[in-house]
Structures are given as structure tokens and as C-alpha cells.
């Protein structure tokens, strides 16, 4: 069994601490995705697991082995990077087998393992080609093949698809999901891409400034975020947030012409500020007569995004399908079901439940 466990893992560069005591368990065979804003420490954490960055303090275990001070080569991991540095003068087959050859693996076994990786990645027709005669997606498949032939216990992916164009990304995303299903190894994957995180992950780890904000399944995080940061980070377009004031058994929203939303969530005392959050998918628009107006409308084919201008200047985005009766520039009435709203402490940003 080869899950990955981090115990109070810390990374400091000189005086600067960038990873602040991460505790995390990734089960054997699990597909775990690290997400978070730029600079939050996703790549650093992955590189610490790989052994490419020294872990300043704490423990990293792969399976039952403490690998905190082990060389990358001894960890049983293989890493796939954003830029796939293939050897230009070698064929696809030679590129995939090179690491094994350097390790003195017998020729017959190299052929067998390369053949198996090639079958999994559907590279059979390209084995004798040089990298320059491959598309970007095919090159990245070869880079993944190089990882597979080593038979690692854990695969580490650092934004492997971010250099590919949109269409190829979709194809490769499906490939990686299939690969995970077929070989069942533990995989840890860093990405900026919402869709990759939501579709690939068994478990998403949301990081912010070197700290874990929340760990959960994609839908678990989407439906039940612990705080405003996670609520805003998971889901696209992002959840709308508006300042509100507690009033009676609910809140009043100044941005939406003092609309009242009732709730049985435990709110602070009357008159206190809270933040209300509503996802763009949960709002409907109709013709209105208040100060909220429809600004820009973006048509994306199947869906449209409506950007509302509110009295307070807070931005509200509404996702709609089909033709809308409301025209750009016109006043709109905003509606949503009270149970679709989430409430957050105005200061700590913790979810109120």
C-alpha cells in the first residue's frame, strides 16, 4: 500500500516560511488534486513529496516508509512536469526506456515495459518517431509514458496540461482519468484549472498561503464549503458575495435594493454584518423596477453570463440558459431560493451554519 502522508510538513527558504505545517493523508490509489491561488505553495508541496525540495521540518511518508530525507530516486515516485523535456535525438520508444536503460534494466524487460506503457497511452503508432514529429499532446503522453515505465507507487503531476491548447487539454484530461482507472496508482496533481480539479479528483486540497483551507471531494467542497475562500475558489464562475445586515430571522442585502432573505442559519445579533453568498447558477432574473440593472451579457452558446450593476458596486454574476426577457441596461429583479444562499462571518469568513 502506498498512500502519502504529510505530518506537520514545513518549508522555509531562509527566513521565509512558505509551507506552514501541513497535515494530510492521501490514500493508496487516490487521485488527489492541489488547488489554490498563484504562490500558495502547490508546486512547493508537490516538490517536497518528490524530494526535489528539502523538507525543512515535519515528516513525509510514502506507504509506511519515512522518506523525508530520502533521495528522489529512492521514493518510488515519478513526476510529470508542465514542460516535457524529451530527448530530441531519441525515438519515442528510446525516450520512454532511457531511464530504465540508465538503471541497467535488461533490454527485454525495457521492451516489455515500454510496450505496456505504449499500449496504455495509445502510442504504438509513434514509437519510432522523434519528438519533433509529434503534437504537443503526443509529447506529453510520451512524458507520462516515461513515468509509467518506471512503475512508480506514486505519480506526481505539476500542471501537466497547461501548455496544451484547450481542445487537447480536454483529450488529455480524459486520458489521465483513464490512466488512473487502469493502473490504479496514487496520483497527486497540481493545477490551476477548475475543471481538471473537479473532474479528476477523488480528493481536492485547497491551499492558501501555505495552509490547507479545506480537504474534501469535489462536490463536498462545492456543496459544503467551510469558509468564504473555499466557497469562492471552487465553482466557476465564482460564487457571488454581498455584504448583508442581520435583520429579524434573516438578512437584508443593500446591494439588491434591501432585499430580505430569511434563513434558519445561526446568525449574529440583529444589526451585525454578515456576508451572503449565492452561486451564479442559482440566481434568476426578471424585469424589475429597482436600482439593480443588467450590465454586460456574455453569450457562450449554451449558457450566458449576466453581469449586474448593483447600488453598492458589488459585482453579481448570473448564469442563464436560453433567451432572457431582460435586456442590457434594464432594471432587473434578482431571485434565488433562500436555501441556496450561504452565510459567512464578516470578519473570520467562516461559514455560518
Ligand X SMILES: Nc1ncnc2c1ncn2[C@@H]1O[C@H](COP(=O)(O)OP(=O)(O)OP(=O)(O)O)[C@@H](O)[C@H]1O
| Sites of contact with ligand X (CB under 6 A) | 13, 16, 18, 36, 38-44, 192
For 150-165, b/e burial (b = at least 16 CB within 10 A) is bebbbbbbbbbbebbe
Q: Which is nearer to ligand X, 72 or 295 (CB)?
A: 72
Q: Which is nearer to ligand X, 14 or 313 (CB)?
A: 14
Q: Are strands 273-278 and 240-247 parallel, antiparallel or unpaired?
A: antiparallel
CA distance 98 to 234: 40
CA distance 336 to 39: 35
Are 50 and 63 a contacting pair, CB within 8 Å? no
Query: Residues 140, 142, 146, 152: is their CA dihedral positive or negative?
Result: positive
Q: Which is nearer to ligand X, 41 or 76 (CB)?
A: 41
Cβ 198 to ligand X, closest distance in Å? 17
Q: Give kind and range of the element (H or E) at residue 100.
A: helix 92-102
Q: Which is nearer to ligand X, 236 or 286 (CB)?
A: 236
Helix then strand count (H, E) for the chain reads 8, 21
Cβ 54 to ligand X, closest distance in Å? 11
Q: Which is nearer to ligand X, 36 or 218 (CB)?
A: 36
Cβ 39 to ligand X, closest distance in Å? 4
Query: Residues 67, 71, 72, 74: is their CA dihedral positive or negative?
Result: negative
Cβ 164 to ligand X, closest distance in Å? 17
Q: Which is nearer to ligand X, 40 or 267 (CB)?
A: 40
Q: Which is nearer to ligand X, 69 or 192 (CB)?
A: 192
Q: Which is nearer to ligand X, 36 or 160 (CB)?
A: 36
Query: Residues 189, 78, 43, 144: is their CA dihedral positive or negative?
Result: negative
Cβ 191 to ligand X, closest distance in Å? 9
Largest CA distance in the chain: 78
Cell numbers found for residue 46: 508537490
Cβ 351 to ligand X, closest distance in Å? 24
SS3 155: strand
> What are the residues whose beta carbons fall under 8 Å from the beta carbon of 104, sequence distance 6 or more?
none
CA–CA distances in Å: residue 136 to residues 62, 79, 129, 160? 32, 18, 14, 11
Q: Which is nearer to ligand X, 46 or 185 (CB)?
A: 46
Are 114 and 96 a contacting pair, CB within 8 Å? yes
Cβ 60 to ligand X, closest distance in Å? 15
Cβ 304 to ligand X, closest distance in Å? 30
CA distance 157 to 161: 9
CA distance 156 to 173: 15
Amino acid at each position: 500500500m502506498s498512500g502519502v502522508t504529510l505530518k506537520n510538513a514545513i518549508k522555509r527558504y531562509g527566513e521565509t516560511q512558505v509551507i506552514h505545517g501541513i497535515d494530510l493523508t492521501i490514500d493508496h490509489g487516490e487521485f488527489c488534486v492541489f488547488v489554490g491561488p498563484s504562490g500558495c505553495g502547490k508546486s512547493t508541496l508537490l516538490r517536497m513529496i518528490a524530494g526535489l525540495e528539502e523538507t525543512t521540518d515535519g515528516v513525509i511518508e510514502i506507504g509506511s516508509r519515512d522518506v523525508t530525507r530520502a533521495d528522489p530516486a529512492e521514493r518510488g515516485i515519478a513526476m510529470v512536469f508542465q514542460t516535457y523535456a524529451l530527448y530530441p535525438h531519441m525515438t519515442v520508444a528510446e525516450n520512454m526506456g532511457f531511464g530504465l536503460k540508465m538503471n541497467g534494466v535488461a533490454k527485454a524487460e525495457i521492451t516489455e515495459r515500454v510496450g505496456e506503457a505504449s499500449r496504455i497511452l495509445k502510442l504504438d503508432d509513434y514509437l519510432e518517431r522523434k519528438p519533433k514529429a509529434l503534437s504537443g499532446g503526443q509529447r506529453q503522453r510520451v512524458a507520462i509514458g516515461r513515468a509509467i515505465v518506471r512503475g512508480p507507487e506514486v505519480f506526481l503531476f505539476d500542471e501537466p496540461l497547461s501548455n496544451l491548447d484547450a481542445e487537447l487539454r480536454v483529450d488529455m484530461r480524459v486520458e489521465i482519468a483513464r490512466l488512473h482507472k487502469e493502473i490504479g496508482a496514487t496520483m497527486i496533481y497540481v493545477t490551476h484549472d477548475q475543471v481538471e480539479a473537479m473532474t479528476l479528483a477523488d480528493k481536492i486540497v485547497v491551499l492558501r498561503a501555505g495552509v490547507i483551507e479545506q480537504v474534501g471531494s469535489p462536490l463536498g467542497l462545492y456543496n459544503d464549503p467551510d469558509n468564504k475562500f473555499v466557497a469562492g475558489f471552487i465553482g466557476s464562475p465564482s460564487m457571488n458575495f454581498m455584504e448583508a445586515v442581520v435583520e429579524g430571522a434573516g438578512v437584508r442585502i443593500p446591494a439588491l435594493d434591501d432585499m430580505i432573505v430569511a434563513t434558519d442559519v445561526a446568525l449574529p445579533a440583529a444589526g451585525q454584518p454578515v456576508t451572503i453568498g449565492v452561486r451564479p447558477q442559482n440566481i434568476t432574473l426578471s424585469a424589475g423596477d429597482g436600482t439593480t440593472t443588467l450590465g454586460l451579457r456574455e453569450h457562450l452558446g449554451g449558457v450566458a453570463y449576466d453581469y449586474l450593476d448593483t447600488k453598492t458596486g458589488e459585482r453579481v454574476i448570473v448564469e442563464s440558459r436560453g433567451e432572457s426577457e431582460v435586456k442590457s441596461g434594464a432594471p432587473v429583479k434578482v431571485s434565488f431560493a433562500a436555501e441556496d444562499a450561504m452565510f459567512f462571518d464578516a470578519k473570520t469568513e467562516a461559514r455560518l451554519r
